[in-house]
Amino acid sequence: MSDALARRDERDLRDTMVDGSELHARLAKTWGTGRGLIAALSTVDHKIVARRYLVTAFVFLFLGGLSAAAMRIQLARPENQFIGPDLYNQLFTMHGTTMMFLFAVPVMEAVGIYLVPLMLGTRNIAFPRLNAFSYWVFLFGGLFLWVAFILNIGPDVGWFAYTPLSGPQYSPGKRTDVWAQMITFTEIAALATAVEFIVTILKQRAPGMTLDRIPLFVWAILVTSFVIVFAMPAVMVASTMLILDRLIGTHFFNPSEGGDSLLWQHLFWFFGHPEVYIIFLPAAGMVSSIVVAFARRPALGYLPLVLSLIAVGFLSFGLWVHHMFTTGLPQLGAAFFTANSMLIAIPNGIQIFCWIATLWGGKPVFRTPLLFVLGFFFIFVLGGLSGIMLASVPIDTQVHDTYFVVAHFHYVLIGGAVFPLLGAVYYWFPKITGRMMSERLGRWNFWLAFIGFNLAFFPMHLLGLQGMPRRVYTYQPEMGWGTLNLLATIGSVILLISFVLFLWNVVSSNRRGEIAGDNPWDAGTLEWATSSPPPPQNFDRIPLVTSREPLWAERGPLPVVGGLAVDMRQVVVGTVTEARPILRESSPEPSIWPLFAAIAVGGTFLGSIFTPWAVVWGSIPVAITLIGWFWPSGSPEDEK
């Protein structure tokens, strides 16, 4: 490396020159967000952005849950008059779209944004301004969808908006445009965070955290991010084509002008199936963290667990056609995708065996987080079994578009993602807020959720086998589906109550919960080495990692590295495989520009559904805000 590179300003204050509370206070000032509205809107602290992401995603969970409750009330008995067909169409579309795009994916990213930098022992995520931008874009996309729904222009073509139904001919008006642009918003947000994760994980790990010492949750986020990078562009391309078909008269999906409706399905499911794993893989990472902490021993089969994550990531791209078995594909094609669909059960199975073996060989402590993990095992395995059934073309042909499928995907989505997520909230809540959640309420929460869930969704398998189609707003009494539907509705209400209880537990524990301390579960990974909640700088000095569970290996004082600046934001950047430190790179300070850029981008998208010229004129404010964002302000972070 040249001398010019090694040259440095000798006057700057380093963390080797100060110590103790002075160091802590100075770093907190350097990395802090400041007071006031402008400061709050300018923050780039990953913990604050993640908290906003979390709260917003949970609000969307409740909105999605309320739309589900409305649907279940309507279906509770035959020929019910609670909701008419048009509103029902909007409701299932809003429910599916909200749950997938505004809750499940963002919430997993939110947990990652909070935890990944802490688990890696760094002070902020890579590209923190992009991170702030991604939150704003996500928020605007979600608001856009729900405000449209309130104005009675909520989309009504299902969460996968099949053409030709969603095309200009069968869906005139703005409803589907809203859907298509909301996709663009949320995918931009997700792609931005994926790139941040990849770079943070590859480059900003604490010195000594070689690839085989990366916490399993972080591995899961890394694999998920790669899946996002390669899957999400498909839905962006698809939704752009759809909106062009609708707004400026292109013919991508119009068979009479050389287009093809199945092109939509291919593009959508090329994204849509990996999407399921974008939701499930981080949840698997949460399960690993919880299992290890509560089994009180390192994971049994760290390597197989990591390899399974990677295998699932790859295989998830070979499955999309299994959503299209009934579209008349060539036989050989269908056989290939069946084989692949069954193959993916293997790495998933390996993970489950590793977790069970870890618990078996440990001394498990059955607290609420672990209860949710056990609930996950049960429900997810059942969902996997109905999945294997669906992977076979003859069965799929029979039950396609029935409630059997609705049952299946709620078993995998709620079992595979929501249960681990709730466990994760109980597990990491003390880190985020400094207080424990109530264990008593937690147990009630778990049992109500578990019983309510199974009561709500198990009957749907039977309903599907009896032929009840999905996406119908009512059914005739002669069909004999009344009792099972009533049961499902009762289950949904119990499930809903469990969520209210959860909310109550969060709110009340946040105020009055028992003080947690740094490491209430005596867990081994780095996020537990700092205080709860962590200070703005995360760590006063960057840890030096010597093992996979640093806090279990180093029961005495933690070894750390020094030499970073105190009065400006600096992070340690290392090599990709060994995490050998090579730079003290500066990290951007807060800025209001990401918010402005998000407003400009959002306004452009919004305008584009009214006139294509919005894209031309909108590019001007977008360009201005981006220049504002990147132009150096003269701060030390910008100049060194």
Per CB under 6 A, residues contacting ligand HEM are 65, 68, 71-72, 92-93, 95-96, 99-100, 104, 158-159, 406, 410, 413-414, 417-418, 456, 470-471, 492, 495
Using left for φ > 0, alpha for ψ between -120 and 50, and beta otherwise, residue 221 falls in alpha
Query: How far apart (Å, rounded) are the C-alpha atoms in residues 465 and 468?
Result: 7
Q: How far is the CB of 615 from other proteins (least distance, A)?
A: 10
Query: Is residue 36 part of the contact set for other proteins (CB under 8 A)?
Result: no
Query: How far apart (Å, rounded) are the C-alpha atoms in residues 435 and 509?
Result: 7
> Which residues neighbour 420 within 8 Å (Cβ) at sequence distance 6 or greater?
283, 284, 286, 287, 290, 372, 373, 376
State yes or no: cis peptide before 477, omega within 30 of 0.
no
**Closest to 222 in 3D by CA, of 300, 281, 302, 289:** 281
Q: How far is the CB of 148 from ligand HEM (least distance, A)?
A: 16
Q: How far is the CB of 111 from ligand HEM (least distance, A)?
A: 15
Question: Could you give the string, one character per residue 505-524, with x where binding to other proteins holds by CB under 8 A and - elsewhere?
Answer: -------------xx-----
Nearer to ligand HEM among residue 382 and residue 601 (C-beta)? 382
Residue 232 contact partner, candidates ligand HEM, other proteins, none, CB within 5 to 8 A by sort of partner? other proteins
Q: How far is the CB of 113 from other proteins (least distance, A)?
A: 16
Query: Is residue 251 part of the contact set for other proteins (CB under 8 A)?
Result: yes
DSSP 115-183: HHHHHHT-SS-SSHHHHHHHHHHHHHHHHHHHHHHHTT----STTTT-TTTTSTTTS-SSHHHHHHHHH
Region 558-577 residues binding other proteins, contact defined as CB under 8 A: 558-564, 570, 572-573, 576
Identify the bridge partners of residue 570 per DSSP, sorted by sequence position.
586
Query: Is residue 250 part of the contact set for other proteins (CB under 8 A)?
Result: yes
Residue 474 contact partner, candidates other proteins, ligand HEM, none, CB within 5 to 8 A by sort of partner? none
Q: What's the token pair of residue 489?
A: 């509705």
Region 221-240 residues binding other proteins, contact defined as CB under 8 A: 229-230, 232-234, 236-237, 240
Nearer to other proteins among residue 166 and residue 485 (C-beta)? 166
Q: How far is the CB of 232 from ligand HEM (least distance, A)?
A: 17
Place of tokens 């209430």: 520
* Number of residues binding to other proteins, judged by CB under 8 A: 86
CB-CB contact of 261 with 253 (8 Å): yes
Other residues' Cβ atoms within 10 Å of the Cβ of residue 615: 13
State yes or no: cis peptide before 533, omega within 30 of 0.
yes
Residue 581 contact partner, candidates other proteins, ligand HEM, none, CB within 5 to 8 A by sort of partner? other proteins
Q: How far is the CB of 487 from ligand HEM (least distance, A)?
A: 13
Stretch of residues binding other proteins (CB under 8 A), selected from 32-40, 343-351, 426-434, 543-551: 543-551
CB-CB contact of 389 with 411 (8 Å): no
Residue 637 contact partner, candidates other proteins, ligand HEM, none, CB within 5 to 8 A by sort of partner? none
Query: How far apart (Å, rounded) are the C-alpha atoms in residues 262 and 330?
Result: 14
Nearer to ligand HEM among residue 96 and residue 362 (C-beta)? 96
Q: How far is the CB of 634 from other proteins (least distance, A)?
A: 8
Query: Is residue 242 part of the contact set for other proteins (CB under 8 A)?
Result: no
Burial class (CB in 10 A: 0-12, 13-18, 19+), 610: exposed
Region 265-284 residues binding other proteins, contact defined as CB under 8 A: 266-267, 270
Query: Is residue 613 part of the contact set for other proteins (CB under 8 A)?
Result: no
Residue 195 contact partner, candidates ligand HEM, other proteins, none, CB within 5 to 8 A by sort of partner? other proteins
Q: How far is the CB of 536 from other proteins (least distance, A)?
A: 13
Nearer to other proteins among residue 66 and residue 247 (C-beta)? 247
Q: How far is the CB of 294 from other proteins (least distance, A)?
A: 21
Nearer to ligand HEM among residue 43 and residue 171 (C-beta)? 171
Place of tokens 């198990």: 458
With the CA atoms of 357, 358, 362 and 365 taken in that order, what torsion angle do they form, in degrees rounded to the nearest 10?
-110
Region 580-599 residues binding other proteins, contact defined as CB under 8 A: 581-586
Alpha helices in 205-330 (DSSP H): 216-247, 261-295, 302-315
Longest dimension (CA), the chain: 86
